[in-house]
Amino acid sequence: MTTYLVTGTNRGIGYEYCRQLAARGDEVIAVCRQPSSALTDLKVEVIRDIDVADQQAIATLQKTLGNRPIDVLINNAGIYRQSNLDSLNIDGIKEQFEVNAIAPLALTQALLPNLTASADSNGMAKVAIMTSRMGSIEDNTSGGTYGYRMSKTAVSMAGKSLSHDLNSRAIAVAILHPGLVSTDMTNFNSSGISPAESVKGLLKIIDALTLENTGTFWHTNGEVLPW
Ligand SMILES: NC(=O)c1ccc[n+]([C@@H]2O[C@H](COP(=O)([O-])OP(=O)(O)OC[C@H]3O[C@@H](n4cnc5c(N)ncnc54)[C@H](OP(=O)(O)O)[C@@H]3O)[C@@H](O)[C@H]2O)c1
């Protein structure tokens, strides 16, 4: 049985990861601040009260996990705050850097012993980073959305560096765009795909992740995206 640790699991894409993983018989550790009733109903293991941007909470998570092997870490928790040129919202930009860019890097670093334990016994472990196409510099044809875009560009770069730094430890890294998904974050955008469709594609990519294709930026539809 493969053990997945997923962050940001009380709703949206993170919840859907847990639902699909549990349905196919994988072991799920669902990390969240506060579980929703939907998450509780899944009957997966939940570790609550973990704010991914809080170093104290990360230390608590480390302590709770001890030396338990983690086969796949999915850094999913994220936030979206408005920031345009007329109203930059500097606090919101900083908050997005904390949650979207620094936290996935810090959490990956904190759980390296758990990932290494898995890689040592199974030959390989995996890290998935939920970035966004909004963080692609080449794909930016419309401007605006400063904080979200900047934080996602930064986390994509963190993912790329991790893919190099962790290769010799047999830990592969996927940098993932879920598509435009109808969730709370997008105000349930009616043009968005469902979390179920998005996560189906994302899991296909994570399943096929290797030390040869590590460090690639993929759309959930399998397309390789430009940086
Ligand atoms: N939806 C899209 O179209 C889209 C597109 C591109 C990328 N993404 C990315 O995909 C990921 C999931 O997005 P989503 O659409 O599922 O968003 P969502 O519905 O807003 O869910 C975000 C999740 O992250 C959690 N979270 C936020 N801040 C946190 C923190 N400081 N500590 C712990 N958990 C925190 C939230 O929990 P709380 O209830 O505790 O806040 C929630 O569970 C994000 O990284 C997002 O940027 C989404």
Residue type, 98: E
Q: Is the CB of 35 under 6 A from ligand 1?
A: no
The residue-averaged pLDDT of 22-39 equals 98
Residue ranges per structural domain of the chain: 3-219
Cα–Cα distance, 179 to 182 (Å, whole number)? 9
CATH class for the region spanning 3-219: alpha beta
Q: Residue 20: what pLDDT?
A: 98
90 C-beta neighbours (distance < 10 Å), count: 10
Pick the closest to residue 74 from 32, 42, 36 (CA basis): 32
CA of 189 to the centre of ligand 1 (A): 15
Q: Is the CB of 185 under 6 A from ligand 1?
A: yes
Q: pLDDT digits over 84-121, tens only? A: 999 999 999 999 999 999 999 999 999 999 999 999 99
Cα–Cα distance, 94 to 124 (Å, whole number)? 34
Q: Residue 41: what pLDDT?
A: 98
Predicted model pTM: 0.98
